[in-house]
Structure 1
Amino acid sequence: MTSLLRMEKYVDDCSAVFVQKLREFGKTHETLNMARWLQFYAFDVVGELTVGKRFGFLDEGKDVGGIISAIDTYLAYTANVGVYSEWHPFISSMMQKLSPRQGRGSMVEFTQAQIDKRKEDETSPHELDGTGDFLSIYLALHKKDPSSFTDQDLFAGCITNIGAGSDTTSISLSSVLYNLCKHPEALQKLREELEQKQANGELSNPVTFKESQACPYLQAVIKEALRVHPATGFPLGRVVPKGGATIAGTFFPEGAIVGINTWVAHMNVSVFGHDAELFRPERWLTDKDNYNRMDRYFFTFGMGSRTCIGKNISLMEVGKVIPTLVQEFDFELVNPDADLKTRNVWFVKQQSFFCKVSERHSNSQTTAEK
């Protein structure tokens, strides 16, 4: 966790760029595809965290090099063929020829260029103490024992971070912000908590991850948003071990794949209450026993030994940027009565989160004075 906290500066850098962009949009009153912009933000953050450089999504306001489009195509393929894996050897080569290579190539070239540049710079810190980005840590491991942590391992670590670290976080950010827009009473409570913390000198500008964790209602909002809209939309499968297993009274032979769909688990009324389908952050603020019971069934990041390794990074991004966004800006849904459209290709991405943004001048003035 200490290493993670030392990386906050990379999140803060991207947040500053994002806030400036939103201020510009506030002046033009144009409609934003907020889910898209939150993905731009998450992608640039993971670039900073991994190789110390933004991809430029926020700066250019577009899918640089077609990278996001390429990842979407890849997810659609894996979501379908992954279910029928025996088809993969027959159609993968054909899909590689038919699908655009530009996006994948742009991501690979960007990542490799940063690795090569860092290797050439002998003054660049190759650290094992966690004060640098992931690339500096990987380079330190490689330098210490090249045969154990190879060039291939170094590249794979970087590309995995980048490829897997944007969609999940952007979906989570979109769920938090969308549900706050849909539930103004929750937004008001959150702002009151943040303003009180600020008045007590308990919040910095920008908010630190540690400070965000000491905001009970903020944490309840995040937890609830990730419960009602978890990023993963397919069952999280496990292979039944030797000898088989009996689950809920049914025997499954060894080798069978069993799994639980996160969306189904999170709607369990016996765990989350009769109103489990509703966004209600207060459910996480009752007694400790109730919280612990719900937390045991909280599958957003998986569970056990296969828990998402990027969980804390994602929570850091969400916990830091959401206070900034709700204090600095008002967000107005373009179609507040319409149902949110989503697309499930392993990750359940929001498709219709359109809003207009305006600056909250009283709060902005306070921020500027600091």
Structure 2
Amino acid sequence: MQISDSKIVSNLPLWLPAAVIVGVLVSYVRSWYRLREFKGPWLAGWTEAWLFRATTTGELHLRLHEVNKKYGDLVRIGPNWLMTSDPEIIRYMSAARHKHQKSSWYESLKVDPYVHSVFSETSVEKHDKLRVNMQSGYSLKENRDLGVKIDAEIASLVNLIDRKYISTPTEPRVIDLAQAAQYWSLDVITSIALGEPFGYLREDKDMYDFIKIIQGELPLATVCSSTPTLGNLVFGSGLVTLIGPSPKDETGRGKLMGIAKKVVEERFGPNKVVRDDMLGTFIRNGLDKRQAESEILTTILAGSDTTATAIRATMLYIMTNPRVYNTLVKEIQTAERDGSISSPITSAESRKMPYVQAVIKEGLRIHPPITGLLTKLVNPGGEVIKGRFVPGGTGIGHCGWGIQRHEIFGTDVDIFRPERWIEASDAQRHEMERTMELVFGTGRWGCLGKAIVMVELDKIFVELLRRFDFELVNPGSPWKTRNFTLFMQREMWVRVTKRGS
């Protein structure tokens, strides 16, 4: 019996949807099956919905840590993604000799959506070339006046506090320390990168709406980075080229791109401005105009936000722990009386102060400034990692919060206790330092600005606490904080008085 073509066409609506549904189910089952050996939230094995929901809470760092504690150091958080809090696995995935590639996680976090920076570049070869061109710009050898520039911005911060925010018994004044820390870190990084600060501290306001724009755009970018399907739709489908930001925009990310374009434009052409700063070093080492724009934007964002978070968090733990506060101030005052520190303090002098250094390390450990997944891909063909086979192409992300609560730090990892760094044996301290330093990444993907950040931290706490006393206004609710790869923190209200008054 023959069936007419019209009969087949009339039956299409009946079987075609069923075929599509079956195809989708088969795809889901195959995706689940390849990582079936790894435990994790049930929903995460089938769909990106679990990771999407965890990211939108603004507490992804805590949700990931909870999963690690429940299921182990290498757990499944998505159909094709694992996540770890094991320092050994992080070092393995970042080691230069293994050539693991960055995943699509980085694509959504490009500050300039049209041009990769050294942070977001997924090609190993292109990344390595960029890194070579840029690394001298971050070196302490090239930035010989780094300490002078940091000291100048510390003086600006001190001046701002003296001028507007000193409380007296009859006139209480409060400062949002979260905002002030970001103003300071932005002025420091723009001074280092561009030769002069943007003037956040001088004006005591968000210049160019930089903070407002970044905090407005970062949540969506982080959600897209954590859910590859959504990220590919928004950033990988060509949609950005049609409706994305432009340097001509008066608002949003386009406005920041326009600022970068204007700053970089001055360094090219027949009447170019030549400066001995970070941007000047980038250009001397071969970065073209467009790449320089992308790198400067990324440097200002990454170099300011992470430092600001380190300062806020460490100051919060200092202020809420009288033992730490008093011990730290005593060491600073003793050093002043002995004449063992200058005014302003040098980085070398700070590193001879055991408790200051212990506080800095403990602050970075207990509240790592960046907690994004930073996912890297297992090489094609798969690899055996810590005795378990992981299929090729699988993404392995970081649990930054969990890494800094590793057993190497002791049994009281959720307590801010700088003394752990002083009490430890040399061998244990070495391992603790190696693990703490993972907040800066490691290996091929290590942070270029690590040395600069550490000089900033060497100075800022000493210079503030030798002059002022700090007191939280609302200890029951010390700040408002949300995490979207970086921390967005505000309303950290503090009462400041002159030391000794």
Query: What TM-score do the two structures reach when normalised by structure 1?
Result: 0.86
Q: Which string of whole-angstrom CA distances, capped at 9 and with x for unpartnered residues, describes residues 91-116 of structure 1?
A: 3558847xx85243443343343334
Matches of 2:294 and 2:453, distance apart in 1: 20
Residue in 1 that maps onto 2:417: 280
Indicate how the Cα distance of structure 1 residues 294 and 22 shifts in structure 2: closer, same or farther if over 3 A, else same: same
Matches of 2:313 and 2:466, distance apart in 1: 17
Matches of 1:135 and 1:29, distance apart in 2: 42
Retained in 2: the 8 A contact 1:330–1:358?
A: yes
Matches of 1:120 and 1:199, distance apart in 2: 54
Using the TM superposition, name which of 175-184 and 273-282 deviates more.
175-184
2:341 alignment partner, SS class = coil
Instruction: Tell me, yes or no, if structure 1 residue 150 matches structure 2 residue 299.
Output: no
Matches of 1:121 and 1:222, distance apart in 2: 46
- How many residues end up aligned between the 2 structures? 349
Query: What TM-score do the two structures reach when normalised by structure 2?
Result: 0.64
Residue in 1 that maps onto 2:321: 183
Retained in 1: the 8 A contact 2:318–2:324?
A: yes
Using the TM superposition, name which of 333-342 and 214-223 deviates more.
333-342
2:196 alignment partner, SS class = coil
Match of 2:264 among 109, 115, 125: 115
Residue in 2 that maps onto 1:70: 213
Matches of 2:252 and 2:493, distance apart in 1: 25
Matches of 1:11 and 1:121, distance apart in 2: 32
Match of 1:26 among 151, 166, 173: 166
Structure 2 regions of 5+ residues with no counterpart?
1-139
Q: Which string of whole-angstrom CA distances, capped at 9 and with x for unpartnered residues, describes residues 176-195 of structure 1?
A: 11111011221221222222
Q: Which amino acid aligns with 1:294?
A: M
Tell me the CA shift for residue 19 of structure 1: 0.5
Residue in 1 that maps onto 2:89: none
Structure 1 regions of 5+ residues with no counterpart?
127-131, 142-147, 363-370
Retained in 2: the 8 A contact 1:65–1:102?
A: no
2:226 alignment partner, SS class = coil
Matches of 2:350 and 2:396, distance apart in 1: 36
1:2 alignment partner, SS class = coil
1:236 alignment partner, SS class = coil
Q: Which string of whole-angstrom CA distances, capped at 9 and with x for unpartnered residues, describes residues 179-221 of structure 1?
A: 1101122122122222222233321111122222222211110
Give the superposed CA RMSD. Answer: 2.6
Match of 1:262 among 400, 407, 414: 400
Matches of 2:299 and 2:191, distance apart in 1: 11
Instruction: Tell me, yes or no, if structure 1 residue 83 matches structure 2 residue 221.
Output: no
Q: Which amino acid aligns with 1:114?
A: V
Q: Which has the larger radius of gyration?
A: 2
Using the TM superposition, name which of 283-292 and 152-161 deviates more.
152-161
Retained in 1: the 8 A contact 2:266–2:272?
A: no
Q: Which string of whole-angstrom CA distances, capped at 9 and with x for unpartnered residues, describes residues 116-162 of structure 1?
A: 44557979655xxxxx3212323433xxxxxx432223323322211
Retained in 2: the 8 A contact 1:266–1:297?
A: yes
Percent of residue pairs bearing the same amino acid type: 29
